[in-house]
Amino acid sequence: MKSIFLRIYGGMLLALVLVAALGAFTLHVVNEVRSGRYLEELARGTFRLMADDLRPMNDIERRRALSQWSRLMGIPLQQRTLDSLNMPGRDRARLLKDDVLVRQNGPHDFKVTTQISAAEGMILVGEVEQISEQLARATIYLLMDDLQGYPASQYPYHLARIVRDKQFGFEVHLRNLKDVDLDDDQSRRVEEGDTVLALGKDGRSIRVLSGILNTPWTLELGPIHQMNPYPTQLLLGIALVALTLIGLIVFFLVSRLEQRLLGLDTAAARIARGNLDARVEVRGSDSVGRLAGTFNHMAEQLQQLLSVQRELVRAVSHELRTPVARLRFGLEMIESAQTDSARRKYMDGMDGDIQELDTLVDEMLTYARLEQGSPPMTFERLELSALVERVAGEIAPLRREVRITCEATSLVPFDQGSWIEAEPRYLQRALQNLIGNALRYAEGRVRVSYRVSFDRCRVDVEDDGPGVPEERWERLFTPFFRVDDSRTRVTGGHGLGLSIVRRIMRWHGGRAHIGRSEKLGGACFTLVWPRRQRPQSD
């Protein structure tokens, strides 16, 4: 589960980094838009005043006026045709509506444009460095020039009309000098008609004042506020969006994890209700994916164990029925027997039935133990040749008329002997089952051959018996399966020996299969497994 939390924390950290980068980018983009609008609001009224003054003039008068305004305001001004500016369609449409455009050429270089004459397609273009101060001085000059054509008493009325028509981006007022809050030096300069810039009380704004000579009026522009690049509303909005994005990302991560865990919970509930076929979809290689794989493996093991349990119950009821019936028959016959020899005959038969029961119980317990999981496997280094010879020698007396031969087919050139790594007890049991099975069905000969290569071991057990039909090869390793049930009753066996062999080979990392003996003509059982075994994990 540690990797799950690390993944969530990593996702949250990545989300924080992405949201921080997105927030910074958003702030930059929004501030560029805000800066453009701020500059356009400052320049709109001033450039509309100049455009209105230029419209009735002819070309020569316009050049003269622009030259005079450029010297007075320190702003390079010129008239250009709209087609010469190569503007986008959106900007051209705005200019045709008498709007004012501000485009930033550099950190302190702005190009301001507005329309002079739609019929002539002429545009006023100004290069401004300090847009607030320069335009404020230009505005003062232009407003005074427009007002001087009226009586001083009508200045407030005409100024209000001009401000309303030109849509200034700051306040414009006419005040009496005595009502203006200035120090003595600034008051003297205003009274002399000079232009004064006064810093606002908040430190982030300015006022531009200039006295109109021979009148009691002082023209005041402002306060003109500096643009705040980090307004509280904008920062709160970005923070809200950032928190929302982080919340959505975390919700997405947790919801995916919850959905995957819900699949585990649903499968576990289905198994608890008895549906052992329930499985979980394995997605990914993280902790949840590994947990799902482990869960599926557990479910398969559980299903297999219950299947083995049901199989054993059915097999026990079937396999025990015959010997128990024979025992019951023997007891009845003993009671009715008239001679000691007859009683001895029935007692010998009952003893054979008891041995058969003992063998059956031993094989069923061995099979159940192997099917329940990997038993404790203590792999040891041993000689395969010695093990094969010993097992064959132990089994050979069961049918002395059958000849058993053991032979090594080949070895790696540099190998000294036929040592292997295996669990001696279980490997011996597998060989006993195979050789005993071959001896049971052989007519006169059993051949056991073994081969040890660099990394593999192989044992072939062949007989000259009738063999096994090919269509039954796969089912032969199924528990309690018999090729010929009636014949098996005579030869013995309960159908568990080959199942035990396959299971032992599986725990050795190998496999067991059947074929047809090319040399003897009967069945050929083959065991193949790794020569070296890995240490068993807990």
Instruction: Give 142-183 pLDDT, tens digit per residue.
Output: 888 888 878 888 888 888 888 888 888 888 888 887 778 788
Most confident by average pLDDT, 3-17, 114-128, 274-288, 503-517: 503-517
pLDDT band at 448 (very low <50, low <70, confident <90, very high): very high
Kindly report whether the global pTM for this prediction surpasses the value 0.85: no
When the pLDDT of each residue in the chain is averaged and rounded to a whole number, the result is 79
Place of tokens 């994005």: 245
For range 490-517, the mean pLDDT: 77
Which DSSP category does 413 fall into? Answer: T
pLDDT at 132 over 70: no
CA within 13 Å, CB half, 381: 3
* Token pair for 535: 């240490």
Residue 47 has pLDDT above 80, yes or no: yes
349-387 pLDDT, tens per residue?
777 778 777 777 776 676 666 665 556 678 888 888 899
- Dist CA 135 CA 74 (whole Å): 10
CA distances from 501 to 60, 235, 398, 441 (A): 114, 75, 20, 17
Long-range contacts of 311-316 (CB under 8 A, 24+ apart): 311/479, 311/480, 312/364, 312/367, 312/368, 315/364, 315/479, 315/480, 316/364
Q: What is the pLDDT of residues 387-441, one digit of tens each?
A: 999 998 888 888 889 899 898 876 555 455 678 888 888 888 889 888 988 888 8
Q: Which of the four pLDDT bands, split at 50, 70 and 90, describes residue 190?
A: confident
Could you confirm whether domain 279-368 is CATH 1.10.287?
yes
pLDDT band at 50 (very low <50, low <70, confident <90, very high): confident
Distance between CA 486 and CA 482 in Å, rounded?
9
Residue 324: what pLDDT? 76
Buried b (16+ CB within 10 A) or exposed e, 408-417: eeebeeeeee
Distances (CA, A) of 524 to 437, 451, 461, 528: 11, 15, 6, 13
Model confidence at 256, in pLDDT bands (50, 70, 90)? confident
CB atoms near residue 424 (< 10 Å) = 13
Q: How far apart are CA 164 and CA 43, in angstroms?
A: 15
Is the predicted pLDDT of residue 298 greater than 70, yes or no? yes
Q: Is residue 239 pLDDT above 50, yes or no?
A: yes
Reported as a pLDDT band with limits 50, 70 and 90, residue 480 is: low
Pairing of strands 511-516, 77-81: unpaired
In three-state secondary structure terms, 107 is coil
The residue whose two tokens read 């009309």 is 161
pLDDT interval class at 319 (50, 70, 90):
low
pLDDT in tens, 261-270: 788 888 888 8
Which residues are within 8 A (CB) of 86 and not within 5 positions of it... i.e. 6 or more apart? none
Domain with CATH 1.10.287 in the chain: 279-368
**pLDDT band (50, 70, 90) for residue 486:** very low
3-state helix, strand, coil in the chain (%, to 5): 55, 20, 25
**Domain boundaries for CATH 3.30.565.10 within the chain:** 376-530
Handedness of CA 364, 366, 367, 370 (dihedral sign): positive
Res. 488: pLDDT tops 50? no
Percent of the chain with pLDDT over 70: 85
Lowest-pLDDT choice from 113-127, 337-351, 415-429: 337-351
Rounded to an integer, the average pLDDT of 237-244 is 83
Least confident of 294-303, 411-420, 457-466: 411-420
Q: Is 537 helix (H, G, I), strand (E, B) or coil?
A: coil
pLDDT of the residue at 463: 92
CA distance 28 to 445: 93
> Alpha-carbon distance 482 to 469, whole Å?
12
The yes-or-no verdict on residue 10 having pLDDT over 60 is yes
Topology of the domain covering 376-530: Heat Shock Protein 90 (3.30.565)
Reply yes or no on whether the pLDDT at 184 is more than 50. Answer: yes
Count other C-beta atoms under 10 Å from residue 143's C-beta: 26
